[in-house]
């Protein structure tokens, strides 16, 4: 009981007090404590990601094994997880060509590289007109066979080229790798789809919020309509007839005023409330009043 309850509370209390003092004592060892704490957080977060991945496999794998409702979605999640893991750690792709000499038929070289990299021929010619050591063609290939096809094409015209592969680590960000293909061809479109679907939920929530039930709902409805109309060209067209001394009623100006003042004031009030909530919760955790993080 002591190790499970008192030791975690003591660790949280000591670390919390030290972090609070570091904001008020700009001297060592407190001066750079925030940087070290961020590194500790990154290390802990890395292990948390591992635990999260194992928990994902446990929950989704159980659905697949027992054929629970929607198990095929769980199967897609498990397969996608292992596929991404495989391409991230074991099979990277990312083959590229490094040119040492374009050879005697530079016109063919420039045209062929232009076709492969979707670049203007003049730009390719300028890039490879002077090669100091070696220069990389701006195109990565998923497989060695894809790079070999271009390699054979160019070397048959006298070019001096080598096939190389991206180092581990850089293949996570460079194009032409299987990991980047999963990210840009599967994950990114799915993310865009999810955000697109959120628009319908926002519209539904706006409809419920804008129902006139009381004074506050009426103010919200009027302000929302003014902002939506004032931010499109139709808003400026509807109030163009107003005289100069009534320019403050011009819909674009009115919506900007609402956005800059009442909206900003409300947003700052919310942020202040969040800050006070963080202070209160932090003190409860440091003083041992809040014990949910140890399972109580």
Alpha carbon of 245 to those of 15, 180, 236, 240: distances in Å? 61, 57, 16, 12
Asked if 74 and 61 touch (Cβ cutoff 8 Å), the reply is: yes
Q: What pTM did the predictor assign? A: 0.66
Q: How confident is the model at residue 204 (pLDDT cuts 50, 70, 90)?
A: confident
What is the model's pLDDT at position 170? 86
Same domain, 191 and 281: yes
Domain tally for the chain?
3
> Where does a domain end: 33, 56, 89?
89
Alpha-carbon gap, residue 63 to 213, rounded angstroms: 44
Q: Which residue did the predictor score with more confidence, 132 or 283?
A: 283
> Where does a domain end: 35, 66, 89?
89
Same domain, 34 and 125: no
133-165 pLDDT, tens digit per residue, is 788 998 999 999 989 999 999 999 989 999 999
> By residue range, what is the domain housing residue 157?
95-172
* 178, part of any domain: no
Same domain, 85 and 99: no
Same domain, 34 and 71: yes
Same domain, 73 and 138: no
Same domain, 79 and 7: yes
* 215, part of any domain: yes
Same domain, 47 and 16: yes
Same domain, 161 and 114: yes
Three-state SS annotation for 52-111: HHHHHHHHHHHHHHCCCCCHHHHHHHHHHHHHHHHHHHCCCECEEEEEEECCCCHHHHHH
Same domain, 83 and 114: no
Same domain, 162 and 213: no
* 31, part of any domain: yes
Q: DSSP label at 164?
A: E
Name the residue among 168, 191, 185 with its Cα closest to residue 87. Answer: 168
Same domain, 99 and 55: no
């Amino acid at each position: 009981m002591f190790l499970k309850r008192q030791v975690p509370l003591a660790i949280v209390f000591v670390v919390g007090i030290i972090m609070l003092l570091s904001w008020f004592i700009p001297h060592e060892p407190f001066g750079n404590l925030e940087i070290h704490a961020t590194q500790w957080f990154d290390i802990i977060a890395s292990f948390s990601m591992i635990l999260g991945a194992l928990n994902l496999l446990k929950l989704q794998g159980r659905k697949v094994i027992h054929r629970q409702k929607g198990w095929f979605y769980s199967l897609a999640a498990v397969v996608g997880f292992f596929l991404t893991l495989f391409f991230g750690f074991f099979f990277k792709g990312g083959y590229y060509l490094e040119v040492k000499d374009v050879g005697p038929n530079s016109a063919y070289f420039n045209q062929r590289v232009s076709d492969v990299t979707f670049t203007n021929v003049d730009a390719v010619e300028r890039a490879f007109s002077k090669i100091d050591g070696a220069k990389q063609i701006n195109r990565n290939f998923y497989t060695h066979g894809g790079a070999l096809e271009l390699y054979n094409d160019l070397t048959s015209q006298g070019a001096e080229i080598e096939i190389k592969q991206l180092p581990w680590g850089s293949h996570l960000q460079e194009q032409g790798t299987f990991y980047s293909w999963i990210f840009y061809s599967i994950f990114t479109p799915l993310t865009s789809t999810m955000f697109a679907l959120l628009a319908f939920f926002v519209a539904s929530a706006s409809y419920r919020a804008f129902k006139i039930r009381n004074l506050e709902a009426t103010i919200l409805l009027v302000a929302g309509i003014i902002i939506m109309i004032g931010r499109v060209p139709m808003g400026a067209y509807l109030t163009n007839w107003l005289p100069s001394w009534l320019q403050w009623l011009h819909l674009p100006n009115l919506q900007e005023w609402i956005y800059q003042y009442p909206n900003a004031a409300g947003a700052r009030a919310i942020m202040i409330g969040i800050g006070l909530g963080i202070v209160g919760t932090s003190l409860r955790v440091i003083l041992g009043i809040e014990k949910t993080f140890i399972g109580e």
